[in-house]
Chain A
Amino acid sequence: MSRTLAPGIPVRETQEERNLNAEQRPVTTGEQRPAKPGPKSRKPTGRTPAWALKLGSALFAFAIFGGSFDYASQHLATANAPLQPTVVAVAASTEPTVTLSPTLSTTTRAPVTKTASS
């Protein structure tokens, strides 16, 4: 997509055109871009298929997840953790308190035993 002022006179691409061209250009590796000719200047490119990359990435991420889970279960409490929610203070402040006060309760039921009078 190169513009010309007149036939044969090339005009520099704008940034937008450069981006569009980059999108439409077939994907190539960085090693293939340099203009050095000859097979010796080209590094070998890996041939791993896309599905293997995806599988490898998924296994890697879930290995990290599993390893971290194992580590976390072995180190539940970390004294020098950067964040320490004030769990104890909150628990203490929200816990219902019991206040005991001296009271006298009466009953209408008949006494089971009788105290003998002297």
Chain B
Amino acid sequence: MDLFLWELARASGLGAYAALCIATISGLAPRTATLAFLAQNRAVRALHDWSPWLIIPLVLTHVVALILDATARIGVLDVFVPFVTSYGRLAIGLGTISFDLLVVVLVTTWLRRRMSLAAWQLFHRLSYLGFVALFLHAILSGTDLTSPIIAALTWLAAAVVAYYSFERVRRSRPMPSAG
């Protein structure tokens, strides 16, 4: 049973990483024209709004499988409080931080209508920090990243997200006033 849970945790971890890449890129796309070749912004934004339905099951499967797997020795507290595991504190703690930030981003998105735009934007921009934490968690603790192909795909996805994040920042900077 533990072996099945271990396989499930590894697979859902990589699946969650892919889903979060989709969510991040589709979130950046309307301002950076990343996916303009594929679809109009309205469709891309619909994909971004729908992406939690992809992320939540995969992230929950990853977390629950690790809690149930006796070999991994991850407790319920370790899921919410970073750096308290008995081993791999930094690597697993970064995963905990990305999970906490994901919860914050999702909850504030659902409460968006009750918040000011500035407050919502502030919370939503935490997703960049969450993605960085997730990527470092994957690099430092991902068992499957010992495979060159999986590692290359992981780095490639992170590079795409990083490139379009910088592009997004560059485009949002105010234009210098003419004359």
Contact = CB atoms under 8 A, between A and B. Distances in A.
Interface of A: 12, 16, 19-20, 23, 27-31, 43, 45-50, 53-54, 57-58, 60-62, 64-66, 68-69, 71-73, 75-76, 78, 80-87, 90
B141 interface: yes
B7 to A, nearest CB: 4
Looking at chain A's contact residues, is the secondary structure mostly helix, strand, loop, or mixed? helix
Nearest to B141: A83
A23 B117 contact: yes
Nearest to A44: B37
Contact of A19 (B22, B45, B73, B121): B121
Contacts of B144: 68, 71-72, 75, 78
B150 A45 contact: no
Contacts of B3: 76
Given A68-B10, A76-B7, A83-B141, A27 B87 contact: no
B18 A47 contact: no
A47 B91 CA distance: 41
B41 A29 contact: yes
Contacts of A75: 144, 147
Given A48-B39, A85-B72, A54 B11 contact: no
Contacts of A47: 39-40
A84 B17 CA distance: 21
A71 B148 CA distance: 13
18 contacts: A27-B30, A27-B40, A29-B41, A43-B37, A46-B37, A48-B43, A50-B39, A50-B43, A53-B43, A54-B46, A54-B47, A57-B19, A61-B58, A65-B12, A65-B15, A68-B11, A69-B7, A86-B87
